[in-house]
Chains A and B, each alone.
Chain A
Amino acid sequence: MATTNLARPRKAPASAKSVRPNGKSRFDIRRVGLVIAGYVLLLAVWSFFSTYYFNPYILPTPLAVAEEMWSLVKDGTAFVQFGASIGKITAGFVIGALIGAPIGLLMGRSTYWKNFFQQPLLVLGNVPGLTYAVFALILFGIGAVGPVVAVTLVAIPYVALNVAQGVEEVDPHLVHMSGVYGRNRREIAWSVFLPSIMPYLFAALRYGFAMAWKVEALTEVFGGRSGIGFMIRAEYQEFSVTGVLAWTGFFVLFILIVERVFLAQIENRIFAWRGGR
């Protein structure tokens, strides 16, 4: 049953309300105000606990963390380390997509290969991140190769399973008709297959990225020489809660920017042909 459970991303109930603001709610002041109020609430609870219950060594105030973040931004460390991590993720994801997409195509077109790859890929996708991190450390030692390989391994199942799903959903009538009208294979691939795979590829990018990001940080915690995971580890070894929280703050900021700005933009552009559905 697990084999048939991969539901289509665009009809998925859970993502229905995700990012795309439908015009009028975009500048909804009340909504924005509440979102900000949510963050303020979090910070308020946090400062309350840090000032009244714990000493600053255990739970520093938000202000102390913000100062730490600011000093990291000012001397450029934050940008350097983020750049290092993003570079590794991008490299790993591209390699993973290059390996995963052909597997997905194969799976979508042939039942045998689907049966062949399905279980291994599902297992690969369920492997705890710790496994990747330690394996990367054992095999590649400390350095940049380990995180890249870990990201690749995370990306492959996402890309492959989603592409396979997309290929299966291609309307066979359209393919047939294109054949009847004498379109060649390249044109069919470009104009029929690609648009239909695109939403699935996008889902893979989106959820795979979130996952890859976590595993990459984890791998750096274990055996990195640069990147945010490495910095978190360094702060942890100095027992600096402020430092760990500061890097967590960067992490959160980055994810929010990617989610709200970057992915939303790409999504709008790629799915423009659907007419704002």
Chain B
Amino acid sequence: MSTTIPRESDTQEPSSLKNWLVGPTGAAATAAVVFLLIWQFSDLVGDRIPGPIATVQAALEEVGRGEFMLNFLISMQRFGIGIALAIVIGTALGLAIGASRFLNDLLGDLNLVGLAIPAVIWALLCVMWFGFGNTAPILTIVLSAVPFIAVNVAAGARSIPPQLRAMSESFDVPFRRRLRHVMLPAVSGYLVAGIRFAVMSGWNGLLLSEWFGASDGVGHRARYWYDANQMPGFIAWIAFFILFMVLTDRLLLERMSRHAFRWRTTSTKAPRVGLTTKAAV
């Protein structure tokens, strides 16, 4: 592997640089460089994938043309509405499933089925049902995101200490106050974990829905370049998609997760967030 090359070339440098290279940032940077090298190499060997430079050029052109902002705003609007609806529906469903044994048995299995159905099926069905427009993408987002939120919120609702629940029952605490002071705080961390998966799944659903049935939006724009057989433009959009996912995860959801768990002591871990934690079925 070419991973060692940048390290060895720096052996004569002062040891602080060497330390940096062996440290966490250096390792991540080396990985990024290796990735770029592989990308460049695959450009030289095969002619199917354009290299990093051509991709960046195409991306800048797309931004300069104004297509980037336009389509991104259109898609963000759909995404925002879809995710907001999914959060409301998913939280309600999750609280119902988590708080009541009856509803858990009745609806838990259906939620599992919802988790299993891939976004592409929802995308195709919604396109067939609603045609081009805003309804199909938004509904696809909702359908592919709700089960993730519901399953996580349900797990949070189950984690409420039964003593607390029993106490609020015997003291006749009204439902609204119980919801505000017992259920929601217990659930918030799980909700954030659920939102993370929901965002991932919903974003994928949005892209697919726009790919198959929309005349604007980021998914449609990617398809436009794909159909025109202009790979640099297409790869540029793919890079935008991945960048968007990573940035949302790091800047927004990461912070939400920390905020949601601020009441916890440091010794207890946040619930499962990340790849090992998928979907908590």
Contact = CB atoms under 8 A, between A and B. Distances in A.
Given A2-B249, A130-B207, A157 B275 contact: yes
Contact of A210 (B129, B158, B278): B278
B109 A14 contact: no
Interface in B99-157: 102, 105-110, 112-113, 115-121, 124-125, 128-129, 151-152, 155-156
A226 interface: no
B275 A12 contact: no
A129 B258 contact: no
B124 A244 contact: yes
A200 interface: yes
Interface string B51-79: 00000000000000000000000000000
B256 interface: no
Given A116-B28, A119-B31, A2 B254 contact: yes
A15 interface: yes
A127 B245 contact: yes
A130 B274 contact: no
B259 interface: no
A123 to B, nearest CB: 6
A15 B278 CA distance: 10
Contacts of A113: 27
A272 interface: no
Interface residues of A, number: 80
Interface in A1-39: 1-2, 5-7, 9, 12-18, 30-31, 34-35, 37-39
A232 interface: yes
B113 A203 contact: no
A265 B121 CA distance: 29
B152 A5 contact: no
A5 B249 CA distance: 13
A155 B31 CA distance: 20
B109 A39 contact: yes
Contacts of A252: 113, 116-117
Question: Main SS of chain B's interface residues?
Answer: helix
Interface in B201-244: 203-204, 207-208, 211, 219, 222, 226, 231, 234, 238, 241-242
A128 B207 contact: yes
A207 B278 contact: yes
Contacts of B231: 138
Contacts of A204: 276
Contact of B281 (A210, A214, A241): A210
A177 interface: no
B271 A14 contact: yes
A125 B26 CA distance: 22
Contacts of B23: 115
B173 interface: no
B113 A128 contact: no
Given A14-B190, A127-B242, A9 B272 contact: yes
Nearest to A214: B118
Contacts of B89: none
A55 B204 CA distance: 30
Question: Main SS of chain A's interface residues?
Answer: helix
Contact of A116 (B30, B125, B270): B30
Interface string A98-120: 00000000000001111111111
Contacts of A144: none
A112 B49 contact: no
A213 B276 contact: no
B112 to A, nearest CB: 7
A206 B277 CA distance: 10
B48 A256 contact: no
Contact of A128 (B3, B112, B204): B204
Contact of B27 (A112, A123, A125, A218): A112
Given A2-B249, A7-B277, A31-B105, A213 B118 contact: yes
A7 B272 CA distance: 5
Nearest to B231: A138
B264 interface: no
B159 to A, nearest CB: 5
Interface string A214-230: 10011001000000010
Nearest to A134: B226
13 contacts: A12-B272, A13-B190, A14-B152, A30-B105, A38-B108, A58-B129, A123-B246, A130-B219, A131-B238, A139-B48, A210-B115, A229-B120, A255-B116
Interface of B: 3, 22-24, 26-28, 30-32, 35, 46, 48-49, 102, 105-110, 112-113, 115-121, 124-125, 128-129, 151-152, 155-156, 158-159, 190, 193, 200, 203-204, 207-208, 211, 219, 222, 226, 231, 234, 238, 241-242, 245-246, 249-250, 254, 257-258, 269-281
Given A13-B155, A207-B275, A251-B118, 20 more contacts: A2-B249, A7-B276, A13-B156, A14-B152, A14-B155, A115-B24, A117-B31, A119-B28, A120-B31, A121-B275, A122-B274, A125-B275, A130-B241, A139-B48, A158-B276, A161-B275, A210-B115, A214-B119, A229-B120, A245-B125
